Chains A and B, each alone.
Chain A
Amino acid sequence: MDHLTQLESESIYIIREAYKKFDNMAILWSMGKDSTCLLWLVRKAFFGKIPFKVLHVDTTFKFPEMYEFRSTYAKEWDFNLLLHTNQDAIAKGINYTNNDPFTCCHELKTVALQQAVEKHKFNGLIVGIRRDEEGSRAKERYFSPRNEESKWDYKDQPPEFWGQFNTSFKPGTHVRVHPLLHWTEVDIWRYIERENIPSCSLYFSQNGKRYRSLGCMPITTPINSNATTVKQIIEELKATKETERSGRKQDTAKEYAMQKLRKEGYM
């Protein structure tokens, strides 16, 4: 069995475990390559269906190309798309001009997600994070409980091994499920290539620049690249030593910014 099929099978298994366990589940979709890959895996797991809600936590600061991608595939793949924005924060005038990236991320993503979980009473959230993306994500589990305040206690996590996951949780916790945890960035692109999965146009080079990781427009910068096809992206990644999220400002805004964000409930 080849590497990609093995990754795929493990992820499908985890997705099916989550679906069996949680009666009110959603998958987070940011239109990025990882969560789009994850949606594809959900369709694989359920033979073309997406049997739960797809949630986009919308900061309202995404690229137009991302919004376009969202409407195209929500229609084509025919799923139940939920949108949620932290309207209080928008009303208070929180934005990237007036506030630092840490505050914006916290208000527009972390708090917004908490609001959505609260509103829809989700007990399971499927999230497309990967261990190789960023230091604190390496500490994650496949099934990772969050308490009522959405907080993550990364020092007291039960172990997962032998293909067994923690699937019983204290009442009041909601659980983040991470089926892509063991994938690398190159794995994702190779899988996109093999399966012919659509990706947002921003990932491909225009005028010598492309985005390697997509986030909010004001704090996401492109990299120098001439890669215009998935194949060329894979070649480029094989040669680079830059980290994937080096164009994402919230990661470097403060020391251990991501860990702090994630402890409070960031994805």
Chain B
Amino acid sequence: MNGGGTKLSGDEKTKVVIVGHVDHGKSTLIGRLLYDSGSLPPEKLAKIQAKARAQAKEVEFAYVLDALEEEQEQNVTIDITQVFFQTPKREYVIIDAPGHKEFIKNMVCGAAAADIAVLLVDAEEGVQEQTRRHSQLLQLLGIKNVLVVINKMDLVGYDQNRFAALSQDVRNLLERLDINIHDIIPASAKTGENVVQRSPHLSWHLTNTFIQSLDSFEKQHNTSNILRFPIQDVYRFDSRRILAGKVESGILRVGDRITFSPSNKSTTIKTIELWNDTNTEPFRHQSIGVTLEDPLFIERGEVASHQDSLPFISNKFGATVFWMSKNVLQKGQSLTLKLATQDVPCTVTEINNVIDSQTLEKYQGREIINQNDVAEITLRCDRPIAFDANVLATSRFVLEHDFAICGGGIIKENTYPDRRDFFQNRVKSTNIFWQHGEITKEHRETLNNHKGATIWLTGLSGAGKSTIAKELEKKLHGMQIRSYILDGDNIRHTLNADLGFSAQDRVENIRRVGHVARLLSDAGLIAISAFISPYEQDRAKIRHGSDQFIEVHVDCPLQVCQERDTKGLYKKAIAGEISNFTGISAPYEKPRNPDVYVNTSTMTVEECVNSVMNYLQLKGIFL
């Protein structure tokens, strides 16, 4: 290693973040690296030596990074600094990681960009709270490789057994977190042993020094081939309408057929626009501009993808988040979610569990998330957004509150319905038009002497939807009003026999039923549907496609439904025999603005039916 530099290639630098418990030697290691490599500018070295002399103590390598006077006063690193050094093999940038709890946001900041993390463990103290906390954050941030340094070996007499025991502790910790250990090195940063130079005291460690081990790490590139091109802005500086953005993953070419999500508009890439650049095929991650074949109205936030690999679209999903603000995060709190170039107001609807950094155990039933906590939560956005579960740029988001980024999170797989089939060639035949006969809905309504409508009963299993539907039908029939019940179980025996209960199948189930209801109401009948229909977005879609859509929320506390358990399903769901059961292992999104609200735990069936009848009359469905 040398500071003068023999290799200054065009390669990008390897980013290293150094983490570990307070006083386990992070800054000292960095100082030592710079000192031993000759990477310290002479005036900085002179400054450090002068300072040490003035305080009549040894050169403290940690001073190297302490550019701010407050830091030196407190002897604690306040903020991330980036320090550059190189070995004959390659260039590095070290992101210093602070050791104080309240500075964890800075560590997160630095670590989010790192290729490899160096985890320091004090040979005397062993694994401590922040060793665990930092390791857990590394996992969350997707940093998969860790080089472990058992530091301060001089303080334990270079004891090989102590090293072996600590190595095992660290392995136990990191393996639980599914983090790959690149190497474990015994060293002393303070005395410079086994950092850059070998030490006779550590001759029993036959393999690499710290720096040799770091050099032997092979960087892994994110090579997702799935195209994600989030639109950052739209420019009209001249006759061209240029969509600007950064290709976050995959490759984009002229002539590619693309779909924008969440708006679901498709077109073809006409040109790729760059200035003073001869590149015709942009690199991955390059900031570019494009023009489109069709004059679509596209705004910031849309994500362009190839049609065979669209992102998910939902307004609700589960996520693992870390919270960095001094102000706690509470259930029901509103924030701004920023994912790729999408900014959307969102609400924390559930705090499913909070992970304790000490034990890594999950605790349920907490209503707040404190600073530095990691938690699994459910978020509801004010409108659907496009995202992925496995593409970095579109699965990670930040949360903004009160003019500051307060936390970050990663969307959890299978916590949202997959509606991509809707958008992906759903209408397989084009050039088909909706045919209107000469006899219209109005003619049929005149003949029937009442209007057609869809009464959409939604609620938990056991809430009483089918009971109400049957009573409602009887009542309507008695008044010579033509109606027909669409029952969940019946439809699943026939039209939807091919569907299961996964989130995706539920979406499709409701889509088909919604369409049948629409046909019936267009035929002049009153269609009564009794389906759980847990997703707000799907109900909204059916409402959107219908003339007279009456949403009835059949509410009943989950506990009461469980006690009723008319079909014995809750028992099975709790026992784990049925998966994806609404209310137990799958979400139910209550209607925020139903046309009719009934609560079967406080109202009789008669009262519920009357509420619906009154509303029908009010809306002039019948006279």
Contact = CB atoms under 8 A, between A and B. Distances in A.
Interface of A: 1-6, 8-10, 12-13, 16-17, 19-20, 43-49, 51, 131-132, 135-136, 138-139, 154-155, 157-164, 166, 168-170, 182, 184, 186, 190, 195, 234, 238-239, 241-243, 246, 255-256, 259
Contact of B13 (A3, A4, A139): A3
Contact of A166 (B38, B276, B404): B404
Contact of B396 (A157, A162, A166, A239): A162
B41 A243 contact: yes
Contacts of B287: 8-10, 12-13, 16, 45
A190 B10 CA distance: 9
A139 B235 contact: no
Contacts, number: 151
Interface of B: 3-5, 8-13, 38, 40-44, 67-70, 78-79, 81-82, 84, 105-106, 108-109, 112-113, 232-233, 235, 237, 240, 242, 244, 246, 273-277, 283-287, 289, 300, 324, 336, 338, 393, 396-398, 400, 403-406, 408
The 3 closest A-B CB pairs, nearest first, are A135-B67, A161-B112, A158-B404
Contacts of A234: 8
A160 B405 contact: yes
Contacts of B244: 16, 45
B285 A6 contact: yes
Given A1-B286, A238-B4, A246-B43, 6 more contacts: A20-B232, A131-B81, A132-B84, A139-B79, A164-B405, A241-B38
**From A2, A164, A259, residue with most partner B Cβ within 10 Å:** A164
Contact of A169 (B246, B285, B403): B403
Contact of B283 (A1, A51, A154): A1
Contacts of B405: 158-161, 164, 166
Nearest to B66: A135
A161 to B, nearest CB: 4
A135 B70 CA distance: 13
A4 B112 contact: no
B242 A136 contact: no
B283 A5 contact: yes
25 contacts: A1-B285, A2-B10, A2-B12, A10-B287, A13-B232, A13-B287, A20-B300, A44-B275, A46-B235, A47-B289, A131-B82, A136-B68, A139-B68, A157-B79, A160-B109, A162-B396, A164-B338, A164-B397, A164-B398, A170-B403, A195-B276, A241-B40, A241-B41, A241-B42, A256-B69
A166 B403 contact: yes
Contacts of A47: 235, 237, 240, 242, 273, 275, 289
Contacts of B9: 3
Nearest to B396: A162
A10 B286 CA distance: 8
B105 to A, nearest CB: 4
Contacts of A259: 67-69
A13 B340 CA distance: 12
Given A6-B12, A45-B287, A164-B405, A159 B246 contact: no
A4 B10 contact: yes
Nearest to B247: A9
B462 to A, nearest CB: 43
Nearest to B42: A241
B43 A243 contact: yes
**From B4, B287, B324, B338, residue with most partner A Cβ within 10 Å:** B287
Contacts of B78: 139, 155
B159 to A, nearest CB: 38
A166 B232 contact: no
Given A3-B11, A47-B289, A166-B403, A159 B106 contact: yes
